[in-house]
Chains A and B, each alone.
Chain A
Amino acid sequence: AQSVSQHNHHVILSEAASLELGCNYSYGGTVNLFWYVQYPGQHLQLLLKYFSGDPLVKGIKGFEAEFIKSKFSFNLRKPSVQWSDTAEYFCARGDDYKLSFGAGTTVTVRA
């Protein structure tokens, strides 16, 4: 089965610091990749997605992700975080129109 793995369980950083969250996907099949965010008490929201084309994907709220095929990676980045970026971040892979989620990374931004 297709899967994704997120290696960082909890990341704590200060405002204005740069953020990078790792996501690796398993080999094989079509690669459709997503990053979702879940703010405290809210539903999941799509940050960005990659299906094909430019491997550097721009998303909402200043986030971007880079698809690196040779590394089977799709890491999420933000140059300068804000306190409001405190949330749970999930990497996901699409297969046959179903999504498989990574374990998630809790990001805590300290003011």
Chain B
Amino acid sequence: GAVVSQHPSRVICKSGTSVKIECRSLDFQATTMFWYRQFPKQSLMLMATSNEGSKATYEQGVEKDKFLINHASLTLSTLTVTSAHPEDSSFYICSAGKPGYEQYFGPGTRLTVT
């Protein structure tokens, strides 16, 4: 299967600072990447869909100015959590999509905001 990496795997930041999370598809070109958020013992919630070279499409209730997504190339998408607050602490997972609903998931990034 395809390999998707995320960096960093864990990050701790102070309230009010911004954090950038990278998602890379290592062995295929992904025209679409997805960002999810997973709360403890809960399911994955889709935050946004990003297509290479265009603006991301955010799900209802997700603040686009707070969660900035950039998909500058076919192998890299970034999620920046701006002015982070403790309630933004969560597990963030990206996936890279192939045609036909195939999505390959990254290992996730644990964000803790103190």
> Which residues of A pack against B, CB within 8 Å?
32, 34, 36, 42-46, 49, 51, 90, 94, 97-104
Query: Size band of the B side of the interface?
Result: 20 to 34
User: B93 near A44 (CB under 8 angstroms)?
Assistant: yes
| A residues near B97, Cβ cutoff 8 Å | 97
> Which residues of B pack against A, CB within 8 Å?
1, 4, 32, 34, 41-46, 49, 93, 95, 97, 101-103, 105-108
Please report whether the interface of chain B is mostly helix, strand, loop or mixed according to DSSP: strand
User: B106 near A43 (CB under 8 angstroms)?
Assistant: yes
Q: How far is the CB of A109 from chain B (nearest CB, A)?
A: 19
The answer to whether A43 and B105 touch (CB under 8 A), given A97-B97, A98-B34, A98-B49, is yes
User: A94 near B101 (CB under 8 angstroms)?
Assistant: yes
Compute how far the CA of A84 lies from the CA of B74 in the bound complex, rounded to whole angstroms. Answer: 35
Compute how far the CA of A44 lies from the CA of B103 in the bound complex, rounded to whole angstroms. Answer: 10
Q: How far is the CB of A37 from chain B (nearest CB, A)?
A: 11
CB-contact partner of B43 in A42, A43, A90, under 8 A: A90
Q: How far is the CB of A11 from chain B (nearest CB, A)?
A: 14
The answer to whether A99 and B46 touch (CB under 8 A), given A42-B107, A43-B4, A44-B93, is yes
The answer to whether A101 and B49 touch (CB under 8 A), given A43-B107, A44-B93, is no
Compute how far the CA of A46 lies from the CA of B107 in the bound complex, rounded to whole angstroms. Answer: 14
| B residues near A34, Cβ cutoff 8 Å | 101
23 pairs from A and B in contact (CB 8 Å cutoff): A32-B101, A34-B101, A42-B107, A43-B107, A43-B108, A44-B95, A44-B105, A45-B1, A45-B105, A46-B1, A46-B102, A49-B101, A90-B44, A97-B32, A98-B46, A99-B34, A99-B44, A99-B101, A100-B46, A101-B43, A103-B43, A104-B42, A104-B43
The answer to whether A102 and B43 touch (CB under 8 A), given A43-B106, A94-B101, is yes
| A residues near B102, Cβ cutoff 8 Å | 46
Q: How far is the CB of B46 from chain A (nearest CB, A)?
A: 6
| B residues near A101, Cβ cutoff 8 Å | 43-45
Q: In the complex, given contacts A46-B102, A90-B44, what are 16 additional A-B residue pairs having Cβ atoms less than 8 angstroms apart?
A: A43-B93, A43-B106, A43-B108, A44-B44, A45-B1, A45-B105, A51-B101, A97-B97, A99-B44, A99-B46, A99-B103, A101-B43, A101-B44, A103-B42, A103-B43, A104-B41
